[in-house]
Amino acid sequence: MDQIALKQLLDEKAAFYNHPRFLDSDPVQLPHRFTKQQDIEIVAFLAATIAWGNRKSIITSGERIINIMGGKPYEYICNYEEQAHQFVHRTFNGEDLNAFFVSLKRCYSQHKSLEEWFLPKDGSLGSFNRINHFREQFTAAPFPHRTEKHLANPMKGSSAKRLNMFLRWMVRSDANGVDFGIWNRIPMSELHLPLDVHTGNVARKLGILTRTQNDWKSVAEIQEALVEFDPEDPCKYDFALFGLGVFEGVR
């Protein structure tokens, strides 16, 4: 498939799958239940953190976290006192949840938005630098060593799928209403694909990824291709690649 035909295919699929009709089966439905920016940020971040495995299970576990927070995430975090939680989602447990709550409280005690921790003080740009800076801030002591594994580390090669997905939700803005676009200090042009098994397999099938691993080098390789198709909004093609893989069975 030539580049013109490939771009046309991806544009068509992105437009089709970037639609609220798919929200019922996607974890992004969870933050869509809120209107306050901080509530949206907190729920989106926690939902993205546990977004691996069966999507129905992810949504169920996300609802449990919302219930733990009494349906008022920002108020709960601001007044949080460390405690044990009866919670398990795969390898993310109550100890991890407590650590995340503590770090979120630390952030909101200093800033109005979680976006601040994605803004490196040295002004360095790009998702790679933003995610690494966020990780440094979020895992600052005290933070349990075992819980660090739940925050991707691109410095060690991770594709950072869940953090890239969270950034997409917060930064991307269009008229379709799937992504929130409530952060305006990070340009959409910097957003990277939330690479997973589905998007990776489709990208290889379409010839825009040659690497076999789903790591940060693969994310960077795909980014080069997607920026050619849309330099201002390359991450919109996440909808196309994911839709082709999950809903149309492209392997």
Task: Give residue-wise pLDDT tens across range 87-103.
Answer: 999 999 999 999 999 99
- pLDDT at residue 1 is higher than 90: no
Q: Do the domain assignments include residue 60?
A: yes
In a domain, 251, yes or no: no
d(CA 90, CA 21): 28
Residue 68 in domain = yes
Residue range of the domain that includes 118? 3-246
CA distance 78 to 230: 39
In tens, the pLDDT along 125-181 reads 899 999 999 999 999 988 999 999 999 999 999 999 999 999 999 999 999 999 999
pLDDT of residue 251: 81
Asked if the structure places residue 232 within a domain, the reply is yes
227, 234 Cβ separation under 8 angstroms: yes
Evaluate whether residue 125 is within a structural domain: yes
Residue 113 located in a structural domain: yes
Q: pTM here?
A: 0.97
CA distance 16 to 60: 26
Number of structural domains (the chain) is: 1
- Mean pLDDT, the chain, as a whole number? 97
Q: How far is CA 79 from the centre of its chain?
A: 26
Buried-state track 141-177, b at ≥16 Cβ within 10 A, e below 16: eebeeebeebbbbbeeebbbbbbbbbbbbbbbeeeee
Which SS3 state, helix, strand or coil, does residue 147 take? helix
Mean pLDDT along residues 7-16: 98
Cβ atoms within 10 A of the Cβ of 23, count?
Answer: 14
Specify which residues 93 forms β-bridges with: 88
Reading the block at residue 3, the tokens are 């580049």
30, 59 in Cβ contact below 8 A?
Answer: yes
Judge whether 132 lies within some domain: yes
Which residues sit opposite 89 in a β-bridge? Answer: 92
- Indicate whether 28 pLDDT > 90: yes
Contact criterion met (CB below 8 Å) for 113 and 37: yes
CB–CB of 51/27 below 8 Å? yes
Average pLDDT over residues 210-225: 97
pLDDT tens sequence across 173-205 = 999 999 999 999 999 999 999 999 999 999 999
Residue at 201 is within a domain: yes
Residue identified by tokens 């996440």 is 238
Residues in the chain, total: 251
Mean per-residue pLDDT, 15-24: 95
State the average pLDDT over residues 28-49. 98
Tokens in use for 215? 């790591």
Q: Would you state the structure tokens that stand for residue 144, as one six-digit string?
A: 């349990």
Please say whether the beta carbons of 84 and 98 come within 8 A.
Answer: yes
Environment class of 213 (CB within 10 Å of its CB; exposed 0-12, middle 13-18, buried 19+) = exposed
